[in-house]
């Protein structure tokens, strides 16, 4: 398990934003992963996507790494942010914008505003 934790830690540290998900950013394999990837894609966030379905060790390892039982999992600047429900809430409240801004992660503010408008 140490090797898996090292691989995960290296990935999380090497990328400003990482999404551990079922499937890929272009072809999500579950609705929750699709929702988070869709938000990041729409907002133009540059992120690494890790398909947990392609590696059983990563699929379980990421749950152990974060002590969070579900996938997807979003990391920003090495810190675990949350899963689908948390990211959805943060997007709608504007907290995700603030987190990205505070960490110097570029995103399309107009797109973020459009998400909120569409869900108002």
pLDDT in tens, 66-84: 999 999 999 999 999 999 9
Q: What is the pLDDT of residues 18-57, one digit of tens each?
A: 999 999 999 999 999 999 999 999 999 999 999 999 999 9
DSSP 36: H
Phi, psi angle pair for 29, to nearest 5°: -110, 10
For 11, the domain range is 2-118
What does the pLDDT read at residue 71?
97
Distance CA 87, CA 102 (A): 16
Closest CA to 105 of 40, 16, 41: 16
Instruction: Note the pLDDT of residue 120.
Output: 85
Structural domain count of the chain: 1
Return the CATH number at 107. Answer: 3.40.30.10
pTM: 0.95
Convert the pLDDT of each residue in 84-107 to its tens digit: 999 999 999 999 999 999 999 999
Residue pair 101/45 in contact (Cβ under 8 Å)? The answer is no
What pLDDT sits at residue 74? 98
Q: pLDDT tens, 7-17? A: 999 999 999 99
Q: Which of 102, 111, 103 is nearest to 40 (CA)?
A: 111
30 labeled part of a ligand binding site = yes
What is the per-residue pLDDT for 1?
52
């Amino acid at each position: 398990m140490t090797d898996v934790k090292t691989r995960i830690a290296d990935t999380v540290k090497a990328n400003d934003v990482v999404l551990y998900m079922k499937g890929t950013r272009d072809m999500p394999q579950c609705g929750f992963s699709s929702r988070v990837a869709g938000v990041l894609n729409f907002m133009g966030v540059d992120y690494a996507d890790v398909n947990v379905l392609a590696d059983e060790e990563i699929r379980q390892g990421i749950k152990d790494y974060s002590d969070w039982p579900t996938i997807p999992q979003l990391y920003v600047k090495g810190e675990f942010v949350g899963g689908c429900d948390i990211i959805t809430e943060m997007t709608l409240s504007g907290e995700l914008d603030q987190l990205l801004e505070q960490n110097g992660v570029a995103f399309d503010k107009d797109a973020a505003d459009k998400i909120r408008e569409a869900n108002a």
